[in-house]
Amino acid sequence: MEQNNIEKKYNVWIIILSIAIPLVVAVLFKVKLRDFGFDVKPLSFLPPIYATINGITALLLVWAVMAIKKGNRALHERLMKIAIGCSVAFLGMYVAYHMTSEATKYGGEGIMKGIYFFILISHIALSITIIPLVLITYVRALAERFDRHKKIAKITFPLWLYVAVTGVIVYLMISPYYVQ
């Protein structure tokens, strides 16, 4: 299949997923399984796990960039696939946690509260923005359009890294306020 056709083939899926994922997450974030008669215990063990996965994702992203800069395309490709897998695992655990648990309110005050909300809001906004960027970047590599892949990867990488790192920071800042 011609390179442009590969990109065109996936463009519809990129659009669908870029819209559907944030919408489904927003809806599921509000859904509580108890409201539907399910007797489920809160999955309170998940936040440190998915925060760790965010940290692993950040390390994988940095390692993948180092690999490609050294010319190791095979390692770069494997690391990027694992990073995408980690992001998908994070998303599944994040939704599962919020479907079984009440939202945790940040208990800090003063400037820390402002810093927390700035980090949280930028994290959420960029986590939505990063979906199409990751998908486009991946498809361009899949299509072997490495010139175009590299151009968008220069945007995708720092934003995805920010989302991964701030995911850990948000967890560390709110973790003292989790109800056990």
Report the share of the chain in percent with pLDDT over 90. Answer: 77
| Residue 115: pLDDT band with limits 50, 70, 90 | very high
Q: Which of 102, 63, 60 is nearest to 82 (CA)?
A: 60
Query: Which residue range forms the structural domain that includes residue 9?
Result: 3-177
Evaluate whether 82 touches 64 at the Cβ level (below 8 Å): no
Q: In the prediction, which pLDDT does 180 show?
A: 52
Q: Identify residue 119 by its one-letter amino acid code.
A: I
Q: In the prediction, which pLDDT does 13 show?
A: 92
pLDDT tens digits, residue range 39-86?
A: 788 888 999 999 999 999 999 999 999 999 999 999 999 999 999 999
Please count the structural domains in the chain.
1
CATH number at residue 154: 1.20.120.80
Residues with Cβ within 8 Å of 159's Cβ and at least 6 positions away in sequence, in order, are 126, 129, 130, 133
**Pair of tokens at residue 66:** 């180092």
What is the average per-residue pLDDT within 127-148?
95
Evaluate whether 123 touches 170 at the Cβ level (below 8 Å): yes
